[in-house]
Amino acid sequence: MKHIFLFITLCTTSFSLQATNFHALSASRNAYRAADQITKQQVEYKEPGTAGLGKVWDFSTVQPINEAYTLDYFIPDSTDMLRLCGMEHNTRYYYRQQADSVWGVGYENNTTTMEYTRPELRMRFPFAYGDTLRSDFEGVGQYGHFMALNVKGTTRVEADASGELRLPQNETVKKALRVHTLRHYTQTGKDSVEMTLDTYSWYAAGIRYPVFESIRTTINKKGNSSDTTLFTTSFYYPPEKQVSQIETEPIPLDSLYEDEGAAGVFTEATLYPNPVVSNLVIKYKLTRQANIWFSVHNSMGVQFSSTSPEALEAGEHRTIVPMGSLNHGAYLIYVHVDDMLLRRGVMKK
C-alpha cells in the first residue's frame, strides 16, 4: 500500500511544541484516523506524578529499552466505515467512532479473541482539563481457540493535569494535557483474575496522538494481601515520526493515501466543483470491471451518506454524489473499489 501523507514539520534540533492555548482534545484533531502510522519507542518507566495545573514533567533523560515499532490504524472492512483497527505487536484493537465518541469494541491476536458485548467508552470530544468519563464494559471471547474467556469491568477517563513536558531530543511541550485512564476489570477463563490497567497519556496541541505514555498493570488481591504490580513501562512517541492527516484548507488531494491496487483500477479521476455547493460530480476511468461506490465522511471518519454499489465495466464513467444537505467544511470522499479504498478531499461551501 502506498501512503502519501501530510507530515508535521518539526525542527531536527531543539524546538518547542507550542500549546500555550491548549483548551481541549477535539474530534477533528485527536480522533483516530485510518491510514495514520505512529512510531512508539519503549523507554524506562517514569512515574506520572500528581494531578493538577502548572506541573513540570522531565522525561528528557529516559533511556530506551526496545527499538521503535509502529502502530498502524486502518479500516479492516470497507462495508463498515465506522469500525477502525489499531494494530501493534501483532494485536488488533478494534474501535468504533460515532459522532463525538470513541468506543473500544474488542481485540484479537494469535491466541486470544475478544468482542465487547457492552462497548468501552474511550473518549468523548471535546475533552478538556477537569473532564471525566466513566463506562462499564463487558466482553466474551476465546483463549487458544478452545477456552471461553469473559471480561467485565469499568473504565474511568480524566483529563487530570496540565503543565510543561520535557521530552528526549530537546523537545519541550509548554502546556501539555495529561489524560489518565483507569481500567479495572475481572477476566474469567480457566481461572478468574482481577486487574487494573493504569495509563497516563500526555498530549501536545497540533499532535493527534500522545507524545508520551506511562502504563502500570496490577493484579488485585483479595483479603489482606496487597496488590501486585505485574508490569510497568513507558512509551515515547517522537513527534516527528507521527504521520498525521490534519486537514488544511483546501485539502491537497495528494496529501491523502492511496492503495496501489485500487489506484491501478480507478484512474483519471476528476472531482468537481471543489468547493462543492450541492452535487459533486466524479468522472473517472476503470481499467477493468469492478464494483464501485462512494461514501461521504467527516474528518474523524463518520459516514454521512453513500451511493449504491454498481458493477461497472472498464471504461469512462460519471457518478453524482449529493452533498447539498451537509454543513460547510472539509469532507472525505471514500472511493470503494471492490474491497479496496481510495480517499479524496473536498470542501463544502
Together in a domain, 151 and 21: yes
Together in a domain, 293 and 193: no
Q: Is the pLDDT of residue 244 over 60?
A: no
Angle at 347 between CA 344 and CA 349, to 5 degrees: 155
Among 243, 276, 308, give the residue marking a domain's end: 243
pLDDT (0 to 100) of residue 248: 30
Is 340 domain-assigned? yes
- On whether the CB atoms of residues 239 and 206 are closer than 8 A, the answer is no
Together in a domain, 117 and 266: no
Nearest to 331 by CA among 310, 309, 305: 305
Sign of CA dihedral 135, 140, 145, 147: positive
The span from the CA of 330 to the CA of 184, in Å, is 38
Q: Give the Å distances, CA to CA, from 337 to 78, 256, 289, 309.
A: 10, 16, 10, 10
Together in a domain, 74 and 176: yes
Beta-bridge partners for 156: 134, 182
Together in a domain, 153 and 32: yes
The span from the CA of 104 to the CA of 160, in Å, is 21
pLDDT (0 to 100) of residue 251: 31
Beta-bridge partners for 345: 332
Is 248 domain-assigned? no
Is 66 domain-assigned? yes
Element (H, E) at 135: strand 132-143
Boundaries of domain holding 278: 253-348
Is 74 domain-assigned? yes
Q: Is the pLDDT of residue 17 over 50?
A: no
Give tens-digit pLDDT for 273-305: 988 999 999 999 999 999 999 988 876 567 788
Q: Is the pLDDT of residue 255 over 50?
A: no
Which residues lie closer than 8 Å to 282 by C-beta, 6 or more apart? 269, 270, 271, 294, 318, 319, 320, 321, 333
Q: Number of folded domains in the chain?
A: 2
Among 175, 208, 243, give the residue marking a domain's end: 243
Together in a domain, 163 and 277: no
Q: Is the pLDDT of residue 59 over 50?
A: yes
Helix boundaries (H) for the chain: 27-30, 260-263
Is 279 domain-assigned? yes
Together in a domain, 324 and 198: no
- On whether the CB atoms of residues 124 and 133 are closer than 8 A, the answer is yes
Together in a domain, 238 and 271: no
- On whether the CB atoms of residues 78 and 297 are closer than 8 A, the answer is no
First to last CA, the chain: 32
- Check which CATH number belongs to the domain holding 262 and give it: 2.60.40.1930
Q: Name, of 133-147, 242-256, 294-308, the range with top average pLDDT.
A: 133-147
Is 2 domain-assigned? no
Among 189, 223, 243, give the residue marking a domain's end: 243
Q: What percentage of the chain has pLDDT greater than the value 70?
A: 86
| pTM of the complete model | 0.69
Together in a domain, 277 and 315: yes
Q: Which three cell numbers stand for residue 339?
A: 474491497
- On whether the CB atoms of residues 341 and 334 are closer than 8 A, the answer is yes
Give tens-digit pLDDT for 65-116: 987 888 988 888 777 778 899 999 889 999 998 878 999 999 999 899 999 9
Which residue bears the cell 491496487? 261
Is 259 domain-assigned? yes
Together in a domain, 258 and 209: no
Is 80 domain-assigned? yes
The span from the CA of 268 to the CA of 272, in Å, is 13
- On whether the CB atoms of residues 309 and 337 are closer than 8 A, the answer is no
Together in a domain, 208 and 307: no
Together in a domain, 158 and 294: no
Radius of gyration over every alpha carbon of the chain, rounded to an integer in angstroms: 22
Q: Is the pLDDT of residue 9 over 70?
A: no
